[in-house]
Structure 1
């Protein structure tokens, strides 16, 4: 696999306001896996497991907002299995989406591999993604793919309430995060309002409940003494250190602590039973660009990412949810079909500019 040199982007006025929102909100994301993200060494998927095709191999270019140390082994195995050469450019998910829009019809990218569905939705809204093969889409639950067949999830990341097992049980947890604004939780809740996954959650909350309800919750949480932490890892460490009792991370962060400190680490995940935005499962996913010059080869890569071996690799490497049937998630993970997720189209998680404005107006950031 060949890696492009990553360059700084000059963002010009190309008219995609939604991407400006994504850039503003996702600026914290990095091209390498963040400490405590759950990424850990894992065996790459077997080379012999890729779908077969009689088509002559054609090279493809992938723009990946997922970490190089996570994705590169998968792309290497895909090349070994198919003979299709892959050139990869790694970077921030939102920046790469902005680059694709700036490049217009001249983009060399065939496949866009995004860290979150909002960025895929932003490209879809600009008519930059082409429809995927229905046979490929059918492998993934409709909750985790484009309603217009323009992208498909590869792995899932669930929002949870993490809690201190030395003082609390799951039965103590409220039905939703709305309950964390109650007096009993005063000064006991941690959050990371500058984190991209938190902002995606707030965006979903705005979609479901409206801006005023979301504003009220943010103000109530602030008044109740919610404590700011730099990131999700710091929130969980805050629970272990006794600074807080509950936190609002993605599900997989606690697994890094289990790996490092053992199963006795005193934090567990709870999936809110109310089924609102706080129970959302966002995805990392892929789409094929309308400007792809190697459509068949690009489709084979998407199919490969949804093969059992590739799905097992992502589950083992990141503790994220595999999205095809028959591949087991990490032990302790609540099965996806038992999580009551909100009825939203993940493609619509694009108004991060509005979310940032709300967070600023309420003084949360």
Structure 2
């Protein structure tokens, strides 16, 4: 996607610019293979900003468990949110399954998400549902610094994201500025430090000549093979790689800042029901399953994310959320995506 196209998509989310992308990067499908066995009126249509490889098996699982047939359109969370704004009441979507809280907040602010039943919003740990009840988290993930201990062992002692701005890391930092997770971090930075503070931080990062990658996984690979000394990613990419190659075959390590710092943002994936959906009951049953023991166990076992419901057995190596001190930024404030993208372009990172 071009920068221009992505700018329009995010502007549509945050600034009511109704110039949205046409969803050309999305793919339509259904969790049951799209055999059309269910009547159209019974099907819950999901717009999913979460990757099909990550959540496709879960959607198949919940379809069988709830008896609710689903059809899924996959794509970028910001693009799909922009499309939902453009479609308005004409949308065929019943449920929005977002990669991050920002896109959910943007839709909620424009009145496009219905109020969820308290049985759903009250099922999660405090702070992991919209205060107005328009969306609820389904899993959580922490921003971490991936580092190569042979090149930058001192990262293990860092407590502030400012420490990576040291000139010693010039050309040795990996980032993915077009990725939604990095953009959420920048939004948290803006909320925490204001526009001028965020601009200063990003300018200093740009002056340190970071290496640009398309995805978190590519950053981790670069750290692991010594191409860069450190990189900014979500925690679960490390666990996925460790599962894939084995602990003895991975050099890179990850460090959570464990402080009230934008670099220690704990963001969420979440879901909301579209206002006016004729399948709201079925959509609610899908969210209920995602928050059930089976659904939450899937997120920790299969995607290495944090469960947002108490009492779920964590994947080995994950620290309980209650023991992490993360950024105090309210997730509901991560909805100013257009401003974040504009700032990234201004400082030359996109």
Q: Normalised by the size of structure 1, how large is the TM-score?
A: 0.81
1:201-220 to structure 2, matched below 5 A, reads 201-220=185-204
**Retained in 2: the 8 A contact 1:235–1:249?**
yes
What is aligned with 1:163?
147
Deviation per residue, 1:278-324 (Å, 9 max, x gap) = 11111111111111113222222211110011111122221111111
1:234-273 to structure 2, matched below 5 A, reads 234-264=218-248, 265-273=250-258
| 1:143 shift after superposition | 2.5
| 1:98 shift after superposition | 2.5
Deviation per residue, 1:214-261 (Å, 9 max, x gap) = 111122222233332333222222222223221111111112321232
Cα-Cα RMSD: 3.0
* C-alpha spacing 1:216/1:301, structure 2 compared with 1 (3 Å): same
Separation in 2, partners of 1:202, 1:237: 23
* C-alpha spacing 1:240/1:65, structure 2 compared with 1 (3 Å): closer
| 1:22 shift after superposition | 11
Corresponding residue pairs, total:
330
Deviation per residue, 1:195-222 (Å, 9 max, x gap) = 2211110111001111111111122222
Correspondent of 1:178 among 114, 139, 162: 162
* C-alpha spacing 1:362/1:266, structure 2 compared with 1 (3 Å): same
Separation in 1, partners of 2:179, 2:317: 25
**Retained in 2: the 8 A contact 1:19–1:97?**
no
Single out whichever of 156-165 and 92-101 deviates more from structure 2.
Answer: 92-101
| 1:58 shift after superposition | 5.2
| 1:100 shift after superposition | 2.3
* C-alpha spacing 1:169/1:31, structure 2 compared with 1 (3 Å): farther
Separation in 1, partners of 2:205, 2:153: 22
Correspondent of 2:274 among 273, 289, 293: 289
Counterpart check, 1:137 vs 2:125: no
| 1:123 shift after superposition | 0.8
Counterpart check, 1:275 vs 2:260: yes
| 1:266 shift after superposition | 1.2
Q: Normalised by the size of structure 2, how large is the TM-score?
A: 0.84
Separation in 2, partners of 1:301, 1:75: 9
* C-alpha spacing 1:139/1:362, structure 2 compared with 1 (3 Å): same
What is aligned with 1:325?
310
What is aligned with 1:61?
45
* C-alpha spacing 1:336/1:75, structure 2 compared with 1 (3 Å): same
Separation in 2, partners of 1:173, 1:329: 25
Deviation per residue, 1:71-100 (Å, 9 max, x gap) = 343333333333333233333322322232
Separation in 2, partners of 1:28, 1:274: 40
